[in-house]
Amino acid sequence: MDKFDPELLAQIADNFIGGFCVFSYNSDTKAVDLKYVNDGFFRMLSVSKPAGMMLINNAAKVIIPDDLPLMRQWLKDVIADNGSAEEEIRFVTLDGQLSWLSLRGNLYERNGKDNTIVCTLLDITERKMIEEEFRNQYEFMNKLMDIGVNFDYNVRTDVCEMRAGKDWIHEGNFLVDHYLEKVENSGIYPEDMDLFIGNIKRAMKKPIQDTFEYRAVAPFTKSDDYKWYKCNIMSIMGQEGYVSHVLGLVSDINDQKLEEIELKLRADKDSLTGLLNKGATTELINKYIEDLSANSKKGALILLDVDDFKNINDTYGHMTGDDVLAAIGKTLLKNFKGMDVVGRIGGDEFMIFMGDIKDIKDAESMAEKLQKDVKNQCAREEARNILSISMGIAEFPAHGKDYESLYATADQALYQSKGAGKARYSVYIPE
């Protein structure tokens, strides 16, 4: 066989996309003297040669401190000359990123305490990241096995494999084909359907790990009531670089969610009347106005004020005044339900929003009823004898297309009621 050209060998080594180096290591002084490193090492790390040499010369500083003992042990294993020694270490690149490097070295020559070592270096960052992802997926899958309802949605086939864990009445596995079509009839609360499907589709497009909450008819149980659930989802990448599966874990958080809602309601409520406070009232009305506007429906805002409330307090005392306010609270809670919002927004000021009415006459009829009912709720006779209320009514969207303008017109209508002798209601009349 002809002798191999050394220059050609050096050229091949420099063009090899991977690290190849020769260095001397003194086992007494621990000094390292780099003899040769190929150009392929710098191309592998996508750095210039000067920048790459800076990394090498500062190896003790760029290697993660926890991995320095591994590096020292690797040198000892190489010097022991029992064959090639391998190790994987982490280091910080010049742009601050964490990378992985695989070292494989052999003892080439020993001269006293000086040891010449030949070493190959490979960037294994991508491989380690994939391993970490698979480890996370494995742990996630183990978590899915025994709790809640888990699903494995195959993006390519549109088939979803579902499994109910031991905590559910109907434990077992089943398949749902054309999943994205059928999920619309799966019992998910209509207002949460876009949220659920949107998260599944988002996970189909790119790798994500996310959590969201939604309401649905209790699956695998005998209940027809909506309950709260938490869904953890994760995308799985296929070999072609696209999402192939979406994994999910559905767990029942209804008790916890109801407790959270109850705590929030307590914080949002006025303790004397049991009605919402001003902040919660305006927040809900704004939300309902958006819903009505999106569906081209009508609503009505009613402002209610106790006539001569200061005189009641001054004449009969604050206990009688509190009884009046509590009576109004009971009256409003009894007469308004569902999409209606009732709140106490000041000392003797109340606000009602009636959602999805057919006509302003619905609000007028309710105002007439309130005038009669509120007296019957008073526990103190002296309060019943003098209690009266005035109201102002504005229609959405005819008298205002947002909360601020609707409040302003209802306030003008209330002013009309006060000016006309109190103990009555008025509907806003545009000037």
pLDDT in tens, 29-82: 988 898 888 888 888 888 888 888 888 888 888 888 999 999 999 999 999 988
Mean pLDDT, range 266-277, rounded to an integer: 84
The Cα 371–Cα 355 span in angstroms is 20
Residues 274 and 376 reside in one and the same domain: yes
Mean pLDDT, range 211-218, rounded to an integer: 86
Tokens of 206: 């790119």
- Chain centroid to Cα 175, Å, comes to 28
Mean pLDDT, range 179-205, rounded to an integer: 89
Q: What percent of the chain has pLDDT over 90?
A: 37
Q: What is the pLDDT of residue 138?
A: 56
**Predicted confidence (pLDDT) at residue 148 exceeds the cutoff of 80:** no
Residues 313 and 184 reside in one and the same domain: no
The Cα 178–Cα 172 span in angstroms is 20
- Residue 206 has φ and ψ, to the nearest 5°, of -155, 160
Residues 318 and 395 reside in one and the same domain: yes
**pLDDT band of 142, cuts 50, 70, 90:** low
Number of separate domains in the chain: 3
Q: Say how many Å lie between the first and final Cα of the chain, rounded.
A: 109
Which pairing describes strands 389-396 and 425-427: parallel, antiparallel, or unpaired? parallel
CATH code where residue 96 lies:
3.30.450.20
Q: What is the pLDDT of residue 163?
A: 79
Mean pLDDT, range 271-290, rounded to an integer: 90
Residues 249 and 147 reside in one and the same domain: yes
Residues 273 and 421 reside in one and the same domain: yes
Q: In whole angstroms, how large is the CA radius of gyration of the chain?
A: 37
Q: What is the pLDDT of residue 204?
A: 92
Q: Regarding predicted confidence, which is higher, 257 or 5?
A: 257
Domain that holds residue 214: 129-257
**Predicted confidence (pLDDT) at residue 98 exceeds the cutoff of 60:** yes
Residue 262 within a domain: no
Residues 119 and 162 reside in one and the same domain: no
35 touches 22 (CB < 8 A): yes
**Predicted confidence (pLDDT) at residue 17 exceeds the cutoff of 50:** yes
**Spatial strand order in the sheet of 298-306:** 341-344, 349-357, 298-306, 389-396, 425-427
CA nearest to 99, candidates 139, 133, 141, 55: 55
Q: What is the pLDDT of residue 39?
A: 85
Q: Regarding predicted confidence, which is higher, 265 or 213?
A: 213
Residues 58 and 111 reside in one and the same domain: yes
Residues 103 and 164 reside in one and the same domain: no
Q: CA–CA distance from 113 to each of 26, 70, 156, 165, 247 (Å)?
A: 5, 21, 61, 63, 57
197 touches 214 (CB < 8 A): no
**Predicted confidence (pLDDT) at residue 201 exceeds the cutoff of 50:** yes
Upper half-sphere CA count for residue 245 (Cβ side, 13 Å): 13
Last residue of a domain, one of 105, 123, 141: 123
**pLDDT band of 239, cuts 50, 70, 90:** low
Residue 263 within a domain: no
Residues 233 and 116 reside in one and the same domain: no
**pLDDT band of 12, cuts 50, 70, 90:** low
Residues 392 and 414 reside in one and the same domain: yes
Last residue of a domain, one of 123, 157, 189: 123
Residue 349 within a domain: yes
pLDDT in tens, 168-179: 545 567 788 888
Residues 133 and 119 reside in one and the same domain: no
Q: What is the pLDDT of residue 1?
A: 41
CATH code where residue 395 lies:
3.30.70.270
Q: What is the pLDDT of residue 377?
A: 80
362 dihedral zone (left: phi>0; alpha: psi -120 to 50; beta) = alpha
Last residue of a domain, one of 226, 257, 288: 257
Tokens of 282: 């305006």
pLDDT in tens, 304-346: 999 999 988 888 888 888 989 998 999 999 998 877 999 999 9
